[in-house]
Amino acid sequence: MRRAALTLLALLAAAPARGDFMTGWEAYERGDMATAIAEWTRAAKAGDAKSAYNLAQSHARGVGVPRDESKALAWYERAAEGGLASAQYNAGIYHLEGRGTRPDPDKATVHFEKAAAQGHAGAAFALARRWSESDPPRDDLTVAWLRRAVEGGHGEAGCMLGQYVLAGRGIRQDFAEGLRLLEDGATAGETYCQGALGYLHQEGAAGVPRDLAKAARWFRAAADRGNPKAMAALGDVLLRSASGVDGLREAAEWLRKAAEAGDAAGAYLFAVMRERGEGVGRDVADARRWYRRAADAGDRRAVEALDRLAGK
C-alpha cells in the first residue's frame, strides 16, 4: 500500500515547503505514518497547502489514516484555497461525483475553472465534458475547453476534439484534421481514439473507406488495453467476418470478455452465440443468464430475446 501511495504523495515533495511539511515527508519516507500525519496536520492548520494536499491524499487512499472521503474533500478544499491546481481539480471531481458530499456540478465547475486557469489539462477536459453534457449542449464552449486540454497534453481530449472536428460541431468541419487528431491519439495508445477509428473503418464514415480488417486492428489495440466497448466491437467485427470455426471462437472469446467486464452489447452478442452454439458450446440456460445481464444494463434486444425464450 505504501508503494502505491508514494506516487500520489510525492507529487509535491520536491517543491519548497515549510519545515513541518518536510519533517512529515521525511517521516513518511521512513515509514512512520503517525509522525507524517501529525506534522502535515500541524502545517496544514497553519496554512501550508502542500501539507493539506498530502492529508487529503492520505484520507482518500486510507494511507496512515482510515479512508474517509469527507475528510479528504475537506483537506482538498483547504489545499485548493492555497492555490494548488491539483487540489482544485480533485475537489472538483469530489463535488461532481458526490464523494464525501452531495453531488454539486456547479461547485465542481468553480474548482475546475480555477485549476484550468493554472493550466491543469484534466480540469480543462472536465469542463469540456461538463459543457458537452449540458442541456442544451454548448459545442462552442466544449471545443474551447478541449483545445485548452489538448494544449496541456491531455490525450483523451485530443480524441474528443477530433470527433467534434469530424462532425463540424462548434468548429469548422475538417475530415483531414479530425482524422489526424484521432490517429495521433491512437498511435499514442489512447483507447478512445483507437475505438473511434475502429468505428469509422467499420461504418465507412468521414471519408474513411469501409474496411473491417482495419476496424478489427484498431478495436484490438483498444481491447488489448482492457477497453470493454472495444472488446465488444472487436467481437462483433470478428463475428461478421468469421470464415471458419477459429474465427467464431475468437469472436466468442472477445464477446465473453466484454460481457464479463459489464458491456451490455458484449453480453447480448455472447448470449446469441451461446444460444446458437456458435464458437462456443450451446447452452440455452447460460444464454438466458447473459441475456438477463444485457437486459439489466439496458439492451432492448436482450429484453426481446428473453421474451422469445419465455414463450418457448
Per-residue pLDDT of the chain (312 residues; tens, 9 = 90+): 333 333 444 544 444 444 588 999 999 999 999 999 999 999 999 999 999 999 999 999 999 999 999 999 999 999 999 999 999 999 999 999 999 999 999 999 999 999 999 999 999 999 999 999 999 999 999 999 999 999 999 999 999 999 999 999 999 999 999 999 999 999 999 999 999 999 999 999 988 999 999 999 999 999 999 999 999 999 999 998 877 889 999 999 999 999 999 999 999 999 999 999 999 999 999 999 999 999 999 999 999 999 999 876
pLDDT at 312: 64
Instruction: Return the closest-CA partner of residue 88 out of 129, 118, 132, 58.
Output: 118
* DSSP annotation of 101: S
pLDDT at 123: 98
| C-alpha dihedral sign at 243, 247, 249, 253 | negative
Stretch (H or E) spanning 60: helix 49-61
Instruction: Return the closest-CA partner of residue 37 out of 16, 8, 66, 14.
Output: 66
* 269 within 8 A of 254, measured Cβ to Cβ: no
Question: Ramachandran region of residue 134, left (φ > 0), alpha (ψ -120 to 50) or beta?
Answer: beta
Domain 251-312 falls in which CATH fold? Answer: 1.25.40
Q: Which ranges in the chain are annotated with CATH 1.25.40.10?
A: 1-118, 122-225, 251-312
pLDDT at 1: 32
Q: Is 1.10.3720.10 the CATH number for 122-225?
A: no
Domain 1-118 falls in which CATH fold? Answer: 1.25.40
pLDDT at 207: 87
pLDDT at 108: 98
Contacting residues for 198 by C-beta, under 8 A, at least 6 apart: 215, 216, 217, 218, 219, 222, 230, 233, 234, 237
What single-letter amino acid sits at 63?
V
